[in-house]
Amino acid sequence: MKPFQTLIASVVMAAAALTSPLAAAHASLKSSNPAANAVLDAAPKEIALTFNEKVEPAFSSITLTGAGGSTPAGQAKATVDDANPAILRLALPPLPAGAYTVGWAAAGRDGHRRKGEFTFTVK
């Protein structure tokens, strides 16, 4: 009976070791341009978010909210960079001075959608 229990324990541990990288496969934000909490002298022409893995375009988005809840980017949609599918971009119109909140949602290869937000200011 002892060898059977050892075999079962080994199989369970091997399965756990093989599936743990899949469980941690959520798309995580690595960097942003503009950076979180940045104070900019000039308004950015786009928002670029870099994730730790390829993001799925259909389930990933960027929103920009200004003071009073305005949405200066309007109905513009974020696009995945052709050269690097881990980068999500949103083209921006000219932005006046003020504080802005970037909201993002991204889904990676595992299909789980993660969300976050950060702010930046244009002088």
Quote the pTM value. Answer: 0.79
Residue-wise pLDDT tens digits, 18-47: 444 444 568 999 999 999 999 999 999 999
Give me the pLDDT at residue 13, please.
54
Residue-wise pLDDT tens digits, 88-113: 999 999 999 999 999 999 999 888 99
Whole-number Å distance between alpha carbons of 81 and 24: 23
- Is the CB of residue 89 less than 8 Å from the CB of residue 81? yes
CATH classification (class only), 25-122: mainly beta
Give me the pLDDT at residue 78, please.
97
Ranges of each domain in the chain: 25-122
Give me the pLDDT at residue 17, please.
47
Q: From start to end of the chain, where are the E strands?
A: 29-33, 38-40, 46-51, 61-65, 79-80, 87-91, 98-107, 113-122
Give me the pLDDT at residue 103, please.
97
